[in-house]
Chain A
């Protein structure tokens, strides 16, 4: 019975945490980046890789926090939230700058979105693991 409960928690999606993940990524990842150095600047050729690393780091930290902070298993929500975030970044800040030639890297963009999902889920899993470890420790003491 307990197994069924935990399985249901793992595959069901809490839309509220999904929204919170996405909004946290915008508010704590993208907006400070915008204030610090502007988002459009980073989407130009030289800045793109740096921005990918920067955004990937932000996704990892915030997804990890969501995994740690939420009750129950919350792994898919940060993953999907991160995907939405990656789509938002590409649609709002990169696509308007691109000409037709820029679209030959479309597979790369799709890979970025998938990568955001993987990072989001991975970081959330690490956050969950840290939370469980802390709870076990608290119970032990």
Chain B
């Protein structure tokens, strides 16, 4: 017997316990990869995580959004999805942190009593496993929070810019109507008599809550320039041609 096996470093049942647990873990992993995730009739691919319930919930929300887009009714989460979320909450936030902290406390209290190096036991496995999971979940919370908040801000900002752009485009369509009306009207009625020459932007239309507008006029076209008030670097430029068609759209700044 070699030096390293002379005195047992393992508790009597430790080896078979660790073997059985490993076999069970491997079986669960292999079977879940081949059976549980084999075929999913969903638009969004099933997330493989068991530890992060919000990922599973996010998948379900996306799935329902796409269902609504396709004219299908929203679906209630299946029993498997509910079980996975419950398992995620229990494993990641209740069982593992609880077991880890209790065992850690027990070891702290027994530290003085135990002389030398202790044997590896089944409880060491539970302690190690709970510790790995608890620390992994705890360590991942901060980056996940930062990333999700950044993404949320990004989406909010994008939606606000898009909203401002849509409102400006809407205003431009009304301006184009006003400009074309000027072209159609005879000079006696204050129009351009078939020309855009002489058109002036009405005071009330030159500024809205969203942007300021200016025009540059030639005989056959009017160029509208809109400068966003909310995003000073963002602007829109477009030409109204002789048929009232809006052409040569140019978007600058955040509107690009």
Contact = CB atoms under 8 A, between A and B. Distances in A.
B48 A41 contact: yes
Interface string B15-59: 100110110011011101110010000000001111110000000
B9 interface: yes
Query: From DSSP, what is the main secondary structure of chain B's interface residues?
Result: helix
B242 to A, nearest CB: 53
Contacts of A106: none
A27 B28 CA distance: 12
Given A14-B4, A16-B5, A92-B26, A35 B91 contact: yes
A88 B30 CA distance: 11
A8 B33 contact: no
Given A9-B4, A32-B136, A35-B50, A40 B37 contact: yes
A5 to B, nearest CB: 6
Indicate the size class of the contact surface on chain B: 35 or more
Contacts of A31: 25, 29, 129
A36 B88 CA distance: 10
Nearest to B128: A28
Given A27-B18, A35-B51, A72 B4 contact: yes
Contacts, number: 106
B251 interface: no
A32 B132 contact: yes
Interface in B100-137: 117, 120, 125, 128-129, 132-133, 136
Nearest to B26: A26
Q: Which of A5, A26, A70 has the most CB of B within 10 A?
A: A26
Contacts of B47: 38
Contacts of A74: 4
Interface residues of A, number: 36
A34 B4 contact: no
Contacts of B125: 27
A130 interface: no
A8 B102 CA distance: 41
A27 B4 contact: no
Contacts of B9: 69-71
A49 to B, nearest CB: 18
A79 to B, nearest CB: 15
B2 interface: yes
A9 B2 contact: yes
Interface of A: 5, 8-9, 12, 14, 16-17, 19-20, 22-24, 26-28, 30-32, 34-41, 69-74, 88, 92-93, 96
